[in-house]
Amino acid sequence: MDSRSARIQTEELLKITHETVKQGKTITVFTIVTIVFPPTSFMAAFFAINTAEFPRDADGNLGLGFVSQITFPVSAAITVVLTYVAFKVESIEEGWQQATNALGALIGAFPRLWKGPRTPKKVLEERANRTEQATGFVRRIAGIGRKRVGHGAGGGAETA
């Protein structure tokens, strides 16, 4: 009975996996469509602006050749770049994280260079200072370490 229920569950999971893959492909198509149309729409709207700087023919219209020379290459370049980003977003994110970590390590090295070489004794002193600062901060927040000064039960003021 257990092997039969396990088989049924596996078949159901397989169906769900196929459906998820199908939905992922559909979303990819919509992503590509949404990447392609905004640059083209922007360029079309840009050339719809009535300005004197655009070269016009005798009837005052923009020539298709002029508009096509600019619209198609710019739209294609933007579309190619954004499509690449859409498919490589995970590797781009990993690269960005690695670059950020490397930059942080580089920036973090400069204060050490200005303070001189870090000997083991200095490292231990820095750790002790940070621990002491953190402990003091936590105690101030939590109100730990306050003494009650005064006479009798319940009388007196708090001091740090």
pLDDT tens digit string along 112-142?
A: 555 556 677 777 888 888 888 777 767 777 7
Inside any domain, residue 104: no
11 in the same domain as 78: yes
Interatomic CA distance for residues 140 and 158, integer angstroms: 13
Inside any domain, residue 127: yes
Structural domain of residue 145, as residue ranges?
117-151+156-160
Inside any domain, residue 41: yes
- 62 in helix, strand or coil? strand
Closest residue by Cα to residue 120 from 111, 130, 110, 128: 128
77 in the same domain as 10: yes
- The number of distinct structural domains making up the chain is 2
Greater model confidence, 9 or 95: 9
- 110 in helix, strand or coil? helix
pTM of the predicted model as reported, rounded to 2 decimal places:
0.38
Interatomic CA distance for residues 92 and 98, integer angstroms: 10
16 in the same domain as 58: yes
pLDDT tens for 43-62 read: 778 777 776 667 777 777 77
Interatomic CA distance for residues 65 and 71, integer angstroms: 10
Residue with tokens 């400069």: 110
Inside any domain, residue 110: no
